């Protein structure tokens, strides 16, 4: 053992330089191959991943967060706000597409990333943070539950992979009381 402690960080990404985009795509490829591909069953190719992540940055209701290990992006998550026309659900945001590459696991980056997304949602005035996950993602399920997310439902036909239909688990977490929320008209966080 070298005794060197790796540098861990999670940050909100507003633009992707080529080096970061390449690292993010590599991490995503690894996660997809390992079975945690946030919807992809097989790696879609570098250009498709590049377009996907560049597109995320263009969507006003999405914020991209990246986990870094020794300065290199090794995972990401998205905070997704409801669209402006959804006033009835303007108090709730979603954590989506969270992953850490298999070669970077075991350092607590997923936990850090989830907490960072939760803190951002709270700062924007959201009361509730929702997420969903495939039933086969035991480690992720354990992590979400350890962070206080409550399972409220099961979807029996959530996803298909390798010719099998998989169930999905739905989770929610109250991140602040109703009196603390700052949600304005038309779903805008104030």
Specify whether the CB–CB gap between 41 and 57 falls below 8 A. no
Domain count, the chain: 1
SS3 content of the chain, % helix, strand, coil (to 5): 35, 35, 35
What tens digit of pLDDT does each residue of 160-177 get? 888 899 999 999 999 998
Does the pLDDT value for residue 179 go beyond 70? no
104 touches 31 (CB < 8 A):
no
Mean pLDDT computed over every residue of the chain: 91
What are the tens digits of pLDDT across the range 24-58?
999 999 999 998 767 888 999 999 999 999 999 99
**CATH number of the CATH domain containing 85:** 3.40.630.30
Domain that holds residue 102: 8-182
What percent of the chain has a predicted confidence (pLDDT) above 90? 77
* 189 domain-assigned: no
Q: Is residue 188 part of a domain?
A: no
Q: For residue 156, give Cα distances in angstroms to 35, 114, 187.
A: 19, 25, 31
pLDDT of residue 161: 84
Please indicate, yes or no, if residue 3 is contained in any of the structural domains. no
- The token duo for 132 is 């969903």
Evaluate whether residue 150 is within a structural domain.
yes
Q: What is the mean pLDDT of residues 114-118?
A: 98
Do the domain assignments include residue 111?
yes
Residue 174 lies inside a defined structural domain of this protein? yes
| Residue 187 lies inside a defined structural domain of this protein | no
Q: What's the rounded mean pLDDT across residues 98-113?
A: 96
Q: What is the pLDDT of residues 13-28, one digit of tens each?
A: 999 999 999 999 999 9
Name the DSSP letter for residue 87: G
């Amino acid at each position: 053992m070298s005794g060197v402690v790796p540098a861990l960080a999670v940050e909100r990404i507003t633009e992707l330089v080529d080096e970061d985009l390449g690292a993010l795509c590599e991490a995503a490829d690894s996660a997809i191959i390992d079975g945690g591909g946030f919807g992809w069953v097989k790696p879609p190719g570098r250009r498709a991943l590049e377009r996907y992540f560049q597109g995320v940055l263009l969507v006003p209701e999405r914020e991209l967060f990246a986990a870094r290990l020794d300065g290199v992006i090794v995972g990401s998550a998205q905070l997704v706000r409801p669209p402006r026309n959804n006033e009835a659900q303007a108090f709730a945001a979603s954590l989506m597409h969270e992953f850490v590459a298999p070669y970077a696991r075991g350092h607590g980056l997923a936990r850090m990333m989830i907490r960072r997304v939760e803190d951002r949602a709270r700062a924007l005035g959201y009361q509730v943070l929702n997420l969903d996950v495939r039933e086969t993602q035991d480690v992720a399920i354990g992590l979400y539950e350890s962070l206080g997310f409550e399972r409220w439902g099961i979807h029996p036909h959530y996803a298909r992979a390798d010719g099998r239909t998989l169930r999905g688990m739905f989770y929610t977490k109250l991140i602040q009381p109703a009196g603390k929320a700052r949600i304005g008209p038309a779903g805008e966080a104030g």
